[in-house]
Structure 1
Amino acid sequence: MQAIMYVAHGSRVAEGVHQVNQFLEKCMDQINVPIQKISYLELVRPTILEGISHCVDLGADCIVVQPILLLSAGHDKRDIPGIIDKARKIFPNVRFIYGQPFGVDSCIIDILFERLREQQTGSERVEDVLVVGRGSSYPEIPQAFAQIRSMLMKRGIHHVSVCYMAAARPLLKEGLEQASKHLSGKLYILPYLLFSGILMKSMKRIIAAKDNRSSLVLCRSIGYHPLLIRLLKKRIEESMSYDRLPTQS
Protein backbone atom coordinates (compact mmCIF):
# COMPACT_ATOMS: atom_id res chain seq x y z
CA MET A 1 0.00 0.00 0.00
CA GLN A 2 1.24 3.47 -0.90
CA ALA A 3 1.99 6.09 1.79
CA ILE A 4 3.27 9.65 1.86
CA MET A 5 5.08 10.89 4.92
CA TYR A 6 5.54 14.66 5.00
CA VAL A 7 8.63 15.84 6.87
CA ALA A 8 8.29 19.34 8.33
CA HIS A 9 11.12 21.13 10.10
CA GLY A 10 9.57 21.53 13.55
CA SER A 11 9.63 24.63 15.72
CA ARG A 12 9.50 25.82 19.33
CA VAL A 13 6.84 28.27 18.16
CA ALA A 14 3.46 26.55 18.51
CA GLU A 15 1.88 28.77 15.84
CA GLY A 16 4.49 27.63 13.32
CA VAL A 17 3.63 23.98 13.95
CA HIS A 18 -0.08 24.80 13.69
CA GLN A 19 0.49 26.56 10.35
CA VAL A 20 2.32 23.63 8.76
CA ASN A 21 -0.26 21.14 10.04
CA GLN A 22 -3.11 23.19 8.57
CA PHE A 23 -1.28 23.49 5.26
CA LEU A 24 -0.53 19.77 5.04
CA GLU A 25 -4.07 18.78 5.96
CA LYS A 26 -5.26 20.84 2.97
CA CYS A 27 -2.69 19.09 0.78
CA MET A 28 -3.80 15.66 1.96
CA ASP A 29 -7.37 16.42 0.91
CA GLN A 30 -6.17 16.90 -2.68
CA ILE A 31 -3.83 13.90 -2.96
CA ASN A 32 -5.30 10.47 -3.60
CA VAL A 33 -3.00 8.28 -1.52
CA PRO A 34 -4.47 6.00 1.18
CA ILE A 35 -1.90 6.66 3.94
CA GLN A 36 -0.64 10.20 4.62
CA LYS A 37 1.16 11.21 7.80
CA ILE A 38 3.17 14.17 9.14
CA SER A 39 6.50 13.94 10.96
CA TYR A 40 9.17 16.42 12.04
CA LEU A 41 12.92 16.80 11.80
CA GLU A 42 13.30 18.25 15.27
CA LEU A 43 11.58 19.66 18.36
CA VAL A 44 8.17 18.13 17.59
CA ARG A 45 6.89 14.55 17.51
CA PRO A 46 6.38 12.25 15.76
CA THR A 47 9.95 11.94 14.56
CA ILE A 48 10.64 10.70 11.05
CA LEU A 49 11.28 7.13 12.24
CA GLU A 50 8.10 7.21 14.35
CA GLY A 51 6.15 8.45 11.34
CA ILE A 52 7.57 5.72 9.12
CA SER A 53 6.73 3.08 11.73
CA HIS A 54 3.16 4.38 11.90
CA CYS A 55 2.82 4.15 8.10
CA VAL A 56 4.11 0.56 8.15
CA ASP A 57 1.68 -0.35 10.96
CA LEU A 58 -1.13 0.88 8.69
CA GLY A 59 0.04 -1.44 5.90
CA ALA A 60 2.39 0.73 3.85
CA ASP A 61 4.92 -1.12 1.70
CA CYS A 62 6.00 1.95 -0.34
CA ILE A 63 6.58 5.26 1.42
CA VAL A 64 7.28 8.61 -0.24
CA VAL A 65 9.27 10.69 2.23
CA GLN A 66 8.43 14.25 1.19
CA PRO A 67 10.43 17.11 2.78
CA ILE A 68 8.55 20.34 3.47
CA LEU A 69 11.59 22.53 2.92
CA LEU A 70 12.08 25.54 0.67
CA LEU A 71 15.58 24.69 -0.56
CA SER A 72 18.07 21.84 -0.55
CA ALA A 73 20.72 22.10 2.17
CA GLY A 74 21.88 20.06 5.16
CA HIS A 75 18.51 18.68 6.24
CA ASP A 76 17.69 17.58 2.70
CA LYS A 77 21.13 16.28 1.74
CA ARG A 78 22.32 14.74 5.00
CA ASP A 79 19.80 14.48 7.82
CA ILE A 80 16.71 13.03 6.13
CA PRO A 81 18.66 10.57 3.90
CA GLY A 82 20.50 9.33 7.00
CA ILE A 83 17.22 8.57 8.74
CA ILE A 84 15.86 6.85 5.61
CA ASP A 85 18.96 4.63 5.61
CA LYS A 86 18.16 3.60 9.19
CA ALA A 87 14.55 2.95 8.24
CA ARG A 88 15.62 0.66 5.37
CA LYS A 89 17.44 -1.54 7.87
CA ILE A 90 14.49 -1.63 10.25
CA PHE A 91 11.93 -2.22 7.47
CA PRO A 92 13.79 -4.13 4.71
CA ASN A 93 10.56 -5.04 2.89
CA VAL A 94 9.42 -1.44 2.50
CA ARG A 95 10.32 0.61 -0.58
CA PHE A 96 11.30 4.20 0.19
CA ILE A 97 11.13 7.06 -2.31
CA TYR A 98 12.75 10.34 -1.33
CA GLY A 99 11.07 13.51 -2.60
CA GLN A 100 12.45 16.98 -3.35
CA PRO A 101 12.05 20.29 -1.48
CA PHE A 102 9.96 23.03 -3.08
CA GLY A 103 13.07 24.48 -4.75
CA VAL A 104 13.17 27.68 -6.79
CA ASP A 105 9.91 27.94 -8.70
CA SER A 106 7.96 30.71 -10.41
CA CYS A 107 4.97 30.18 -8.12
CA ILE A 108 7.11 31.11 -5.09
CA ILE A 109 8.20 34.26 -6.93
CA ASP A 110 4.48 35.00 -7.40
CA ILE A 111 4.01 34.70 -3.64
CA LEU A 112 6.95 37.05 -2.99
CA PHE A 113 5.34 39.66 -5.24
CA GLU A 114 2.09 39.23 -3.35
CA ARG A 115 3.96 39.90 -0.10
CA LEU A 116 5.39 43.08 -1.64
CA ARG A 117 1.98 44.27 -2.83
CA GLU A 118 0.60 43.85 0.69
CA GLN A 119 3.06 46.51 1.89
CA GLN A 120 2.71 48.98 -0.98
CA THR A 121 0.74 52.18 -0.44
CA GLY A 122 -0.93 54.00 -3.29
CA SER A 123 0.96 53.95 -6.56
CA GLU A 124 4.47 53.72 -5.09
CA ARG A 125 6.89 51.50 -6.97
CA VAL A 126 9.04 48.86 -5.35
CA GLU A 127 12.59 49.72 -6.40
CA ASP A 128 14.75 48.18 -3.67
CA VAL A 129 14.34 44.69 -2.19
CA LEU A 130 16.43 42.72 0.28
CA VAL A 131 15.72 38.98 0.26
CA VAL A 132 16.58 37.27 3.55
CA GLY A 133 17.27 33.53 3.65
CA ARG A 134 17.81 31.19 6.57
CA GLY A 135 21.42 30.54 5.45
CA SER A 136 23.59 27.46 4.99
CA SER A 137 27.19 26.54 4.27
CA TYR A 138 26.09 24.44 1.28
CA PRO A 139 27.09 26.08 -2.04
CA GLU A 140 23.68 25.29 -3.53
CA ILE A 141 22.09 27.92 -1.29
CA PRO A 142 23.80 31.05 -2.71
CA GLN A 143 23.27 29.57 -6.18
CA ALA A 144 19.54 29.26 -5.47
CA PHE A 145 19.34 32.81 -4.14
CA ALA A 146 21.18 34.13 -7.18
CA GLN A 147 18.44 32.54 -9.26
CA ILE A 148 15.73 34.04 -7.03
CA ARG A 149 17.37 37.47 -7.34
CA SER A 150 17.49 37.16 -11.12
CA MET A 151 13.82 36.14 -11.33
CA LEU A 152 12.75 39.13 -9.21
CA MET A 153 14.78 41.55 -11.32
CA LYS A 154 13.39 40.13 -14.55
CA ARG A 155 9.94 41.05 -13.25
CA GLY A 156 10.88 44.70 -12.90
CA ILE A 157 12.54 45.28 -9.52
CA HIS A 158 15.66 47.38 -10.16
CA HIS A 159 17.73 46.60 -7.07
CA VAL A 160 17.59 43.17 -5.41
CA SER A 161 20.15 42.03 -2.88
CA VAL A 162 20.39 38.92 -0.71
CA CYS A 163 21.48 38.26 2.86
CA TYR A 164 21.11 35.50 5.43
CA MET A 165 20.23 34.98 9.07
CA ALA A 166 23.13 32.57 9.73
CA ALA A 167 25.86 30.36 8.23
CA ALA A 168 26.42 32.50 5.10
CA ARG A 169 27.44 36.06 4.25
CA PRO A 170 26.34 38.74 4.20
CA LEU A 171 24.31 38.45 7.39
CA LEU A 172 21.18 40.57 7.83
CA LYS A 173 22.94 43.52 9.52
CA GLU A 174 25.51 43.64 6.71
CA GLY A 175 22.82 43.24 4.07
CA LEU A 176 20.85 46.17 5.50
CA GLU A 177 23.95 48.39 5.54
CA GLN A 178 24.91 47.51 1.98
CA ALA A 179 21.39 47.90 0.60
CA SER A 180 20.90 51.24 2.39
CA LYS A 181 23.93 52.83 0.70
CA HIS A 182 22.09 53.44 -2.58
CA LEU A 183 18.62 53.73 -1.06
CA SER A 184 16.48 56.61 -2.34
CA GLY A 185 13.10 55.45 -0.98
CA LYS A 186 11.93 52.43 0.95
CA LEU A 187 13.76 49.13 1.30
CA TYR A 188 11.39 46.16 1.21
CA ILE A 189 12.70 43.20 3.20
CA LEU A 190 11.43 39.84 1.92
CA PRO A 191 11.89 36.89 4.30
CA TYR A 192 12.43 33.70 2.29
CA LEU A 193 10.94 31.59 5.09
CA LEU A 194 7.91 29.37 5.33
CA PHE A 195 6.47 30.73 8.56
CA SER A 196 6.80 33.58 11.04
CA GLY A 197 8.82 31.92 13.77
CA ILE A 198 11.92 32.75 15.79
CA LEU A 199 13.89 34.00 12.77
CA MET A 200 11.19 36.54 11.97
CA LYS A 201 11.32 37.79 15.55
CA SER A 202 15.10 38.19 15.20
CA MET A 203 14.63 40.15 11.96
CA LYS A 204 12.20 42.52 13.66
CA ARG A 205 14.64 43.19 16.49
CA ILE A 206 17.52 43.91 14.11
CA ILE A 207 15.39 46.20 11.94
CA ALA A 208 14.02 48.06 14.98
CA ALA A 209 17.58 48.88 16.07
CA LYS A 210 18.50 50.57 12.75
CA ASP A 211 18.68 54.36 12.55
CA ASN A 212 16.88 54.34 9.20
CA ARG A 213 14.16 51.93 10.37
CA SER A 214 11.40 54.25 9.09
CA SER A 215 12.52 53.46 5.53
CA LEU A 216 12.67 49.69 6.13
CA VAL A 217 9.53 47.70 5.32
CA LEU A 218 9.41 44.10 6.57
CA CYS A 219 7.11 41.90 4.51
CA ARG A 220 5.39 38.75 5.68
CA SER A 221 7.12 35.40 5.29
CA ILE A 222 6.16 33.22 2.32
CA GLY A 223 3.74 31.32 4.51
CA TYR A 224 1.78 28.22 3.59
CA HIS A 225 0.18 29.81 0.55
CA PRO A 226 -2.40 28.01 -1.64
CA LEU A 227 0.08 28.15 -4.55
CA LEU A 228 2.39 25.93 -2.50
CA ILE A 229 -0.25 23.21 -2.44
CA ARG A 230 -0.07 23.08 -6.23
CA LEU A 231 3.73 22.97 -6.11
CA LEU A 232 3.73 20.24 -3.44
CA LYS A 233 1.39 18.12 -5.56
CA LYS A 234 3.82 18.55 -8.45
CA ARG A 235 6.76 17.49 -6.28
CA ILE A 236 4.88 14.40 -5.07
CA GLU A 237 4.04 13.40 -8.65
CA GLU A 238 7.73 13.75 -9.48
CA SER A 239 8.62 11.67 -6.44
CA MET A 240 6.39 8.85 -7.64
CA SER A 241 8.19 8.79 -10.97
CA TYR A 242 11.78 8.48 -9.75
CA ASP A 243 13.93 7.87 -6.67
CA ARG A 244 16.71 10.11 -5.41
CA LEU A 245 18.04 7.27 -3.27
CA PRO A 246 18.53 3.61 -4.18
CA THR A 247 15.53 1.47 -3.35
CA GLN A 248 17.74 -0.87 -1.35
CA SER A 249 20.33 0.06 1.28
Structure 2
Amino acid sequence: MSDEQVLPDDYAICIAGHGSRDKDGIREFLTLSSKFRERDPHRVVECGFLEFAKPTITEAISRCNQPKIKNVIVLPGVLMAAGHAKNDMPSEVLDAASKFPRLNIQYGRPLDVHPKVLKVCAERVETAEKTAAKNIARADTLLMGVGRGSNDPDANSNIAKITRMLWEGMRFGWAETSFIGVTQPLLDDALDKVVRMKFSRIIIFPLFLFTGVLVKRIYAITEKYQLTYPEIEFIKAPYLNYHDLIIDVFMERAQEVPYGKQSMNCQMCKYRDQVVGFEQQVGEPQAGHHHHVRGIEGYHGLDHGHEHHHGHGHDNHSHKK
Protein backbone atom coordinates (compact mmCIF):
# COMPACT_ATOMS: atom_id res chain seq x y z
CA MET A 1 0.00 0.00 0.00
CA SER A 2 1.43 3.41 -0.94
CA ASP A 3 1.64 6.20 1.65
CA GLU A 4 -1.13 8.21 0.01
CA GLN A 5 -3.51 5.28 0.38
CA VAL A 6 -3.11 5.04 4.15
CA LEU A 7 -6.21 6.13 6.00
CA PRO A 8 -5.32 8.82 8.56
CA ASP A 9 -5.90 8.03 12.23
CA ASP A 10 -8.61 10.66 12.67
CA TYR A 11 -10.92 8.90 10.21
CA ALA A 12 -13.69 6.57 11.35
CA ILE A 13 -15.58 4.19 9.06
CA CYS A 14 -19.35 3.77 9.10
CA ILE A 15 -20.67 0.95 6.93
CA ALA A 16 -24.22 1.65 5.77
CA GLY A 17 -26.34 -1.40 5.10
CA HIS A 18 -29.76 -1.72 3.55
CA GLY A 19 -31.20 -3.73 6.41
CA SER A 20 -33.45 -6.77 6.29
CA ARG A 21 -36.36 -8.43 8.06
CA ASP A 22 -34.21 -11.57 7.94
CA LYS A 23 -32.08 -12.07 11.06
CA ASP A 24 -29.52 -14.15 9.13
CA GLY A 25 -28.90 -11.28 6.74
CA ILE A 26 -28.37 -8.82 9.59
CA ARG A 27 -25.97 -11.24 11.29
CA GLU A 28 -23.89 -11.57 8.13
CA PHE A 29 -23.72 -7.81 7.71
CA LEU A 30 -22.51 -7.44 11.30
CA THR A 31 -19.82 -10.02 10.56
CA LEU A 32 -18.66 -7.79 7.70
CA SER A 33 -18.11 -4.90 10.11
CA SER A 34 -16.20 -7.21 12.47
CA LYS A 35 -13.90 -8.15 9.57
CA PHE A 36 -13.11 -4.45 9.13
CA ARG A 37 -12.09 -4.26 12.77
CA GLU A 38 -9.84 -7.29 12.34
CA ARG A 39 -8.05 -5.58 9.45
CA ASP A 40 -7.61 -2.30 11.30
CA PRO A 41 -8.11 -2.99 15.04
CA HIS A 42 -7.31 0.57 16.13
CA ARG A 43 -9.84 2.12 13.73
CA VAL A 44 -13.29 3.24 14.89
CA VAL A 45 -15.66 1.14 12.76
CA GLU A 46 -19.43 1.26 13.12
CA CYS A 47 -22.34 0.05 11.02
CA GLY A 48 -25.92 1.20 10.60
CA PHE A 49 -28.97 0.30 8.56
CA LEU A 50 -31.30 2.14 6.23
CA GLU A 51 -34.36 0.16 7.26
CA PHE A 52 -35.71 -2.78 9.28
CA ALA A 53 -32.85 -2.84 11.80
CA LYS A 54 -30.91 -0.81 14.30
CA PRO A 55 -28.67 1.01 14.75
CA THR A 56 -29.79 3.43 12.06
CA ILE A 57 -27.14 5.10 9.92
CA THR A 58 -27.45 8.31 11.95
CA GLU A 59 -27.05 6.36 15.19
CA ALA A 60 -23.95 4.65 13.81
CA ILE A 61 -22.43 8.00 12.81
CA SER A 62 -23.13 9.33 16.30
CA ARG A 63 -21.04 6.48 17.72
CA CYS A 64 -18.14 7.65 15.57
CA ASN A 65 -18.25 11.04 17.24
CA GLN A 66 -15.31 10.46 19.59
CA PRO A 67 -12.69 13.02 20.67
CA LYS A 68 -9.94 11.69 18.36
CA ILE A 69 -12.23 11.49 15.30
CA LYS A 70 -12.54 14.45 12.93
CA ASN A 71 -13.71 12.62 9.79
CA VAL A 72 -16.22 9.87 9.11
CA ILE A 73 -16.33 7.85 5.89
CA VAL A 74 -19.75 6.37 5.20
CA LEU A 75 -19.38 3.37 2.92
CA PRO A 76 -22.49 2.01 1.19
CA GLY A 77 -22.38 -1.66 2.07
CA VAL A 78 -24.11 -2.68 -1.14
CA LEU A 79 -23.00 -4.39 -4.31
CA MET A 80 -24.23 -1.85 -6.88
CA ALA A 81 -24.97 1.88 -6.90
CA ALA A 82 -28.73 1.93 -7.38
CA GLY A 83 -31.35 4.07 -5.65
CA HIS A 84 -30.30 3.13 -2.13
CA ALA A 85 -26.67 4.12 -2.70
CA LYS A 86 -27.45 7.15 -4.88
CA ASN A 87 -30.41 8.61 -2.98
CA ASP A 88 -31.43 7.07 0.32
CA MET A 89 -28.03 6.64 1.96
CA PRO A 90 -26.69 10.07 0.89
CA SER A 91 -29.89 11.57 2.26
CA GLU A 92 -29.17 9.93 5.61
CA VAL A 93 -25.60 11.27 5.48
CA LEU A 94 -26.80 14.81 4.80
CA ASP A 95 -29.25 14.52 7.68
CA ALA A 96 -26.46 13.35 9.99
CA ALA A 97 -24.22 16.19 8.79
CA SER A 98 -26.70 18.74 10.12
CA LYS A 99 -26.72 16.99 13.50
CA PHE A 100 -22.96 16.56 13.89
CA PRO A 101 -21.31 19.73 12.50
CA ARG A 102 -18.00 18.97 14.24
CA LEU A 103 -17.39 16.01 11.94
CA ASN A 104 -16.42 16.01 8.29
CA ILE A 105 -18.66 13.27 6.95
CA GLN A 106 -17.73 11.93 3.50
CA TYR A 107 -19.52 9.38 1.36
CA GLY A 108 -17.69 6.56 -0.43
CA ARG A 109 -18.48 4.22 -3.30
CA PRO A 110 -20.16 0.80 -3.26
CA LEU A 111 -18.33 -2.27 -4.51
CA ASP A 112 -19.59 -2.14 -8.13
CA VAL A 113 -17.86 -4.13 -10.89
CA HIS A 114 -14.32 -4.78 -9.65
CA PRO A 115 -11.79 -7.50 -10.60
CA LYS A 116 -11.71 -8.78 -7.02
CA VAL A 117 -15.50 -8.94 -6.88
CA LEU A 118 -15.47 -10.92 -10.12
CA LYS A 119 -12.92 -13.30 -8.64
CA VAL A 120 -15.17 -13.95 -5.64
CA CYS A 121 -18.11 -14.50 -8.03
CA ALA A 122 -16.08 -17.09 -9.93
CA GLU A 123 -15.15 -18.84 -6.68
CA ARG A 124 -18.80 -19.02 -5.63
CA VAL A 125 -19.79 -20.54 -8.96
CA GLU A 126 -16.91 -23.03 -8.74
CA THR A 127 -18.05 -23.97 -5.24
CA ALA A 128 -21.49 -24.75 -6.64
CA GLU A 129 -19.98 -26.93 -9.36
CA LYS A 130 -18.01 -28.92 -6.77
CA THR A 131 -21.20 -29.76 -4.87
CA ALA A 132 -22.91 -31.13 -7.97
CA ALA A 133 -23.86 -34.80 -8.12
CA LYS A 134 -23.10 -35.11 -11.84
CA ASN A 135 -20.02 -34.44 -13.94
CA ILE A 136 -21.29 -31.99 -16.55
CA ALA A 137 -19.05 -29.84 -18.74
CA ARG A 138 -19.38 -26.07 -18.67
CA ALA A 139 -20.19 -26.16 -22.37
CA ASP A 140 -23.38 -27.98 -21.37
CA THR A 141 -24.11 -25.59 -18.50
CA LEU A 142 -26.13 -22.36 -18.42
CA LEU A 143 -25.27 -19.71 -15.84
CA MET A 144 -28.19 -17.65 -14.52
CA GLY A 145 -27.09 -14.47 -12.73
CA VAL A 146 -29.87 -13.11 -10.52
CA GLY A 147 -29.87 -9.52 -9.29
CA ARG A 148 -32.09 -7.71 -6.82
CA GLY A 149 -33.64 -5.56 -9.53
CA SER A 150 -33.86 -1.78 -9.52
CA ASN A 151 -35.54 1.11 -11.30
CA ASP A 152 -31.99 2.28 -12.09
CA PRO A 153 -30.90 0.86 -15.47
CA ASP A 154 -27.25 1.61 -14.68
CA ALA A 155 -27.28 -0.78 -11.71
CA ASN A 156 -29.22 -3.42 -13.64
CA SER A 157 -26.74 -3.26 -16.51
CA ASN A 158 -23.86 -3.87 -14.09
CA ILE A 159 -25.51 -7.10 -12.96
CA ALA A 160 -25.74 -8.10 -16.61
CA LYS A 161 -22.07 -7.15 -17.07
CA ILE A 162 -20.94 -9.42 -14.25
CA THR A 163 -22.96 -12.30 -15.67
CA ARG A 164 -21.49 -11.71 -19.12
CA MET A 165 -17.92 -11.55 -17.84
CA LEU A 166 -18.36 -14.80 -15.93
CA TRP A 167 -19.91 -16.41 -19.02
CA GLU A 168 -16.98 -15.55 -21.24
CA GLY A 169 -14.29 -15.89 -18.59
CA MET A 170 -15.45 -19.29 -17.33
CA ARG A 171 -16.59 -20.50 -20.77
CA PHE A 172 -20.12 -21.57 -20.00
CA GLY A 173 -22.32 -22.75 -22.83
CA TRP A 174 -24.71 -19.86 -22.23
CA ALA A 175 -25.65 -17.27 -19.63
CA GLU A 176 -28.68 -15.16 -18.83
CA THR A 177 -29.38 -12.33 -16.42
CA SER A 178 -32.59 -12.10 -14.43
CA PHE A 179 -33.94 -10.30 -11.37
CA ILE A 180 -36.04 -11.17 -8.36
CA GLY A 181 -38.08 -7.96 -8.47
CA VAL A 182 -38.76 -4.47 -9.87
CA THR A 183 -37.45 -5.01 -13.40
CA GLN A 184 -37.47 -7.59 -16.19
CA PRO A 185 -36.86 -10.38 -16.81
CA LEU A 186 -37.94 -11.89 -13.52
CA LEU A 187 -36.28 -15.15 -12.52
CA ASP A 188 -39.37 -17.28 -13.19
CA ASP A 189 -39.79 -15.83 -16.68
CA ALA A 190 -36.11 -16.29 -17.49
CA LEU A 191 -36.16 -19.91 -16.33
CA ASP A 192 -39.27 -20.62 -18.40
CA LYS A 193 -37.26 -19.48 -21.39
CA VAL A 194 -33.95 -21.25 -20.75
CA VAL A 195 -35.33 -24.68 -19.81
CA ARG A 196 -36.28 -24.98 -23.46
CA MET A 197 -32.63 -24.54 -24.48
CA LYS A 198 -31.87 -28.14 -23.38
CA PHE A 199 -28.81 -27.46 -21.24
CA SER A 200 -27.98 -30.32 -18.88
CA ARG A 201 -27.25 -28.02 -15.96
CA ILE A 202 -28.42 -24.57 -14.87
CA ILE A 203 -26.48 -22.76 -12.15
CA ILE A 204 -28.51 -20.14 -10.27
CA PHE A 205 -26.18 -17.47 -8.91
CA PRO A 206 -27.68 -14.75 -6.64
CA LEU A 207 -25.63 -11.59 -7.12
CA PHE A 208 -26.18 -10.45 -3.56
CA LEU A 209 -23.75 -9.60 -0.79
CA PHE A 210 -25.76 -11.26 1.99
CA THR A 211 -28.67 -13.58 2.53
CA GLY A 212 -32.17 -12.33 3.23
CA VAL A 213 -35.76 -12.69 2.13
CA LEU A 214 -34.90 -12.30 -1.57
CA VAL A 215 -32.00 -14.76 -1.65
CA LYS A 216 -34.13 -17.36 0.09
CA ARG A 217 -36.88 -16.70 -2.46
CA ILE A 218 -34.38 -17.29 -5.30
CA TYR A 219 -33.38 -20.64 -3.80
CA ALA A 220 -37.03 -21.62 -3.30
CA ILE A 221 -37.78 -20.88 -6.96
CA THR A 222 -34.76 -22.96 -7.97
CA GLU A 223 -36.04 -25.92 -5.95
CA LYS A 224 -39.46 -25.59 -7.58
CA TYR A 225 -37.96 -25.78 -11.06
CA GLN A 226 -35.80 -28.75 -10.09
CA LEU A 227 -38.95 -30.65 -9.18
CA THR A 228 -40.65 -29.60 -12.41
CA TYR A 229 -37.67 -30.41 -14.68
CA PRO A 230 -35.86 -33.39 -13.10
CA GLU A 231 -33.95 -34.03 -16.34
CA ILE A 232 -32.03 -30.76 -15.78
CA GLU A 233 -29.62 -30.39 -12.89
CA PHE A 234 -30.30 -27.10 -11.07
CA ILE A 235 -27.52 -25.92 -8.77
CA LYS A 236 -27.78 -23.11 -6.21
CA ALA A 237 -24.55 -21.14 -6.09
CA PRO A 238 -23.76 -19.32 -2.83
CA TYR A 239 -24.11 -15.53 -2.77
CA LEU A 240 -20.98 -13.43 -2.22
CA ASN A 241 -21.04 -13.00 1.59
CA TYR A 242 -17.93 -11.77 3.38
CA HIS A 243 -14.62 -12.82 1.80
CA ASP A 244 -11.10 -11.47 2.14
CA LEU A 245 -11.28 -10.01 -1.37
CA ILE A 246 -14.61 -8.32 -0.62
CA ILE A 247 -13.04 -6.76 2.47
CA ASP A 248 -10.09 -5.69 0.27
CA VAL A 249 -12.41 -3.75 -2.03
CA PHE A 250 -14.28 -2.11 0.83
CA MET A 251 -10.95 -1.07 2.34
CA GLU A 252 -9.92 0.38 -1.04
CA ARG A 253 -13.17 2.33 -1.12
CA ALA A 254 -12.40 3.78 2.31
CA GLN A 255 -8.76 4.57 1.53
CA GLU A 256 -9.59 6.53 -1.61
CA VAL A 257 -11.91 8.99 0.15
CA PRO A 258 -9.37 11.27 1.90
CA TYR A 259 -7.61 11.79 -1.43
CA GLY A 260 -10.72 12.65 -3.46
CA LYS A 261 -10.69 9.45 -5.52
CA GLN A 262 -14.14 8.20 -4.57
CA SER A 263 -16.09 9.71 -7.47
CA MET A 264 -18.73 7.33 -8.78
CA ASN A 265 -18.88 6.50 -12.47
CA CYS A 266 -21.72 8.84 -13.41
CA GLN A 267 -21.54 8.41 -17.19
CA MET A 268 -24.74 6.36 -17.29
CA CYS A 269 -26.39 7.65 -14.11
CA LYS A 270 -29.97 8.70 -14.79
CA TYR A 271 -29.67 11.45 -12.17
CA ARG A 272 -26.67 13.06 -13.89
CA ASP A 273 -27.20 12.56 -17.62
CA GLN A 274 -30.16 12.17 -19.92
CA VAL A 275 -30.36 8.40 -20.20
CA VAL A 276 -32.91 7.23 -22.76
CA GLY A 277 -36.31 6.80 -21.11
CA PHE A 278 -35.27 8.49 -17.84
CA GLU A 279 -34.60 12.05 -19.04
CA GLN A 280 -37.03 13.59 -16.55
CA GLN A 281 -35.01 12.33 -13.56
CA VAL A 282 -31.87 14.38 -14.24
CA GLY A 283 -31.04 16.51 -11.20
CA GLU A 284 -33.67 15.01 -8.93
CA PRO A 285 -33.01 15.97 -5.30
CA GLN A 286 -31.57 13.34 -3.01
CA ALA A 287 -34.46 12.41 -0.75
CA GLY A 288 -34.76 9.32 1.39
CA HIS A 289 -37.77 7.05 0.98
CA HIS A 290 -37.29 4.78 3.99
CA HIS A 291 -38.27 7.01 6.92
CA HIS A 292 -41.34 4.89 7.69
CA VAL A 293 -39.27 1.71 8.15
CA ARG A 294 -36.10 3.20 9.63
CA GLY A 295 -35.14 0.95 12.56
CA ILE A 296 -38.61 -0.56 12.60
CA GLU A 297 -37.53 -4.10 13.47
CA GLY A 298 -35.12 -2.95 16.18
CA TYR A 299 -31.95 -4.84 17.01
CA HIS A 300 -33.17 -8.34 16.05
CA GLY A 301 -31.83 -9.52 19.41
CA LEU A 302 -28.29 -9.49 18.01
CA ASP A 303 -25.17 -8.19 19.73
CA HIS A 304 -23.57 -5.44 17.66
CA GLY A 305 -20.38 -5.70 19.66
CA HIS A 306 -19.58 -2.08 20.50
CA GLU A 307 -20.12 0.65 23.03
CA HIS A 308 -22.52 3.53 22.50
CA HIS A 309 -21.04 6.99 21.88
CA HIS A 310 -22.71 10.26 21.05
CA GLY A 311 -21.77 13.37 19.25
CA HIS A 312 -21.72 15.85 15.70
CA GLY A 313 -20.67 16.28 10.24
CA HIS A 314 -20.97 17.47 6.80
CA ASP A 315 -20.72 16.12 3.33
CA ASN A 316 -22.11 17.24 0.02
CA HIS A 317 -23.03 14.56 -2.48
CA SER A 318 -25.31 16.02 -5.13
CA HIS A 319 -26.81 14.83 -8.39
CA LYS A 320 -26.30 18.25 -9.91
CA LYS A 321 -23.28 18.85 -12.08
- The reply on whether 1:130 has 2:149 as its aligned counterpart is no
Q: Aligned-pair distance for 1:97? A: 1.1
Contact 1:2-1:33 within 8 A present in 2 as well: no
Amino acid at match of 1:102: L
**Distance in 2 of aligned mates of 1:248 and 1:161:** 38
Contact 1:35-1:58 within 8 A present in 2 as well: no
Distance change >3 Å, CA 10–CA 110, structure 1 → 2? same
- Residues 112-157 of structure 1, C-alpha deviation per residue, up to 9 Å, x if partnerless? 2222222324653223100000110101122202321331122122
Aligned residue in 2 for 1:226: 244
What's the TM-score, normalizing by structure 2?
0.72
Percent identical pairs in the alignment equals 25
- Residues 13-47 of structure 1, C-alpha deviation per residue, up to 9 Å, x if partnerless? 22222222122212222137632111111111110
Amino acid at match of 1:147: K
**Distance in 2 of aligned mates of 1:9 and 1:33:** 26
Aligned residue in 2 for 1:141: 155
**Distance in 2 of aligned mates of 1:206 and 1:130:** 13
Matches within 5 A, 1:95-114: 95-114=104-123
Amino acid at match of 2:25: G
**Distance in 2 of aligned mates of 1:244 and 1:53:** 25
Q: Aligned-pair distance for 1:93? A: 3.0
Contact 2:208-2:239 within 8 A present in 1 as well: yes
Q: Aligned-pair distance for 1:105? A: 1.4
| Corresponding residue to 2:173 among 131, 147, 158 | 158
Unaligned runs of 5+ in 2: 1-9, 265-313
Aligned residue in 2 for 1:206: 221
The RMSD of aligned alpha carbons is 2.2
Aligned residue in 2 for 1:185: 200
What's the TM-score, normalizing by structure 1?
0.91
Q: Aligned-pair distance for 1:81? A: 0.8
Q: Which has the larger radius of gyration?
A: 2
3-state SS of paired residue (1:222): coil
Amino acid at match of 1:15: D
**Distance in 1 of aligned mates of 2:220 and 2:157:** 28
